[in-house]
Amino acid sequence: MNFRPIGILPFLIPVLWLGYKWILFRDGVYAVDVHAHTQLCISWLDGRPFLTDTVYGNHFLLHNYFLNPLLAPFVYGAGSLGLFGLHTVLCLVALFLWRQDLAGRGGRTWLAVSALLVGPLGYWVFCDLTQGWHVELLYLPLAACWASAWHRRSSAGLFAATLAIALVKENAPVLLCALFLFASFPDKDRSSLIRNLATRSNGWILLAFTLLFAAGLIWLSALNGWGHSRLGLAIQAVRRHPEALGSYLIRSLTGNLAILAGGLVPFLLLAISTTRKKQYLLLVTLLALPLILSNIVEGLAYYPYSRNAFGFPPRTAFLWGFLAPAHFLAAARYGYDLKFRFPFPATTVVQLAALAVIAEPRIWPVLTGLYPRYALSKEQESALEAASRSLPSHSEVICDLRVLPFFHQHYVSALTDTLQTDRQPDLWVYSEKSTGNPCKNQQKYQQIQANGLVFLWKKRK
């Protein structure tokens, strides 16, 4: 495989992203979800309940995050950095596989298709503002590896990628169903779209993944009871605030359709007839609709607040995790029309347009690196790092949100997270200006302080 200098560029991008993400992490840009996912990976190794964390408690009742525990080898010693590194490695593996698969299509096709992984929407997914990391982000690189395995007709690779995707979350069967149905679409049969889709094999695919999806939802409802399941809570929220449903649906649809448009436009570059292009555009839209519906329903968990209604990176990864691999499979089949001499701008600009729709104005300074940094002095950083190193491995720490990253290798939660009086952390870390007391129970706080479990750091003036 011949690598020209410009062909290596896509491989450098995830490495640069990793460096910038670590800067964001250390600057305290991210909130608590990244720490929750770190703990979900390793809790079972430390004798704690399966899929639990010190941020939300029993995550087993919220999502089927069954892939997290399998990531423990990457996280146990490295903390959150292990998750960032794993994500980067998977992106590089997906790029390497795609580069091999597209070797006969030329450099311009490779650059254009690789932009689907390391372009603006890939960057949006990787950064995951403002929470830092969710396991759903892996939908994109795992689905990319799935598409490569399908293209190579690798049964082992296809099985491994399918299993990994299925373990990510309860909505994974929706994504897998869309991928299988798209990949099974014949490239030579010129029959109507409906006739090509309405086959016995596709019927079995649809039935199998529908049952798997239903089983996941039934499992969560059985654990929670219908009224306390995510879907049940969403329905209750809509009933309490019916007046905001219209605006929510408009904003959510706008964001998801912007991402869909970013995935549809590259199909216009393919070296196929206009009739065939229309068929593919209709096929992709049809298969993407269940994913969009899933995103809209999941966003209702935050209803009537619309911040996570559209463009939330985990949900972007879910939808883009279908659109990007689908286009790769089509590009590997047909290549690009020669009249499009520079397809790379086309696959990139449409993503920028989608990002302009889904990214809130408050996010852009962070995306561009122009955000106001709250820097700590060297003395403060040294003191916090020393406090972290002095603790036994995987201790429990409650601290200011700003200094969470210094304790990412421990079971950490923020002072602002539902302060409980029955918590027994190994260390309280708070500043002179922390909001409220680090413990509501004054008597207990004095006891904790007397036992030397409080570390005070001074905020920089």
Write the single-letter amino acid at 60.
Answer: F
Number of helices and strands in the chain (H, E):
19, 6
**Alpha-carbon gap, residue 230 to 209, rounded angstroms:** 20
Q: Where are the domains of the chain?
A: 5-367, 378-457
Which burial class, exposed, middle or buried, applies to 127 when counting CB atoms under 10 A from its CB (0-12, 13-18, 19+)? Answer: buried
DSSP 4: -
pLDDT tens readout for residues 161-212 = 999 999 999 999 999 999 999 999 987 766 788 888 888 999 999 999 999 9
* pLDDT at residue number 18: 97
**Chain segment 222-277, per-residue pLDDT in tens:** 887 665 666 777 788 888 888 888 888 888 999 999 999 999 999 999 999 888 89
pLDDT in tens, 85-95: 999 999 999 99
Instruction: Give me the chain's average pLDDT, please.
Output: 87
Q: What is the DSSP string of 199-263?
A: -HHHHHHHHHHHHHHHHHHHHHHHHH-GGGSHHHHHHHHHHH-GGGHHHHHHHHHHHHHHHHHHH
Under the banding of pLDDT at 50, 70 and 90, the label for residue 432 is low
Contact between 320 and 258 under an 8 Å Cβ cutoff? The reply is no
Give the predicted TM-score (pTM) of the model.
0.92
Q: Give the model's pLDDT for residue 256.
A: 95
- What pLDDT, on the 0 to 100 scale, is given for residue 106? 83
Q: Mean pLDDT over residues 144-169, rounded? A: 97
Contact between 263 and 327 under an 8 Å Cβ cutoff? The reply is: yes
CA dihedral 191, 194, 196, 200 (to 10 degrees): -140
What is the DSSP track for 50-102?
TTEETTTEEGGGT---TTGGGGHHHHTTTTHHHHHHHHHHHHHHHHHHHHHHT
Q: pLDDT confidence of 34, banded at 50, 70, 90? A: very high
Q: Give the pLDDT of residue 441.
A: 54
pLDDT confidence of residue 461? 45
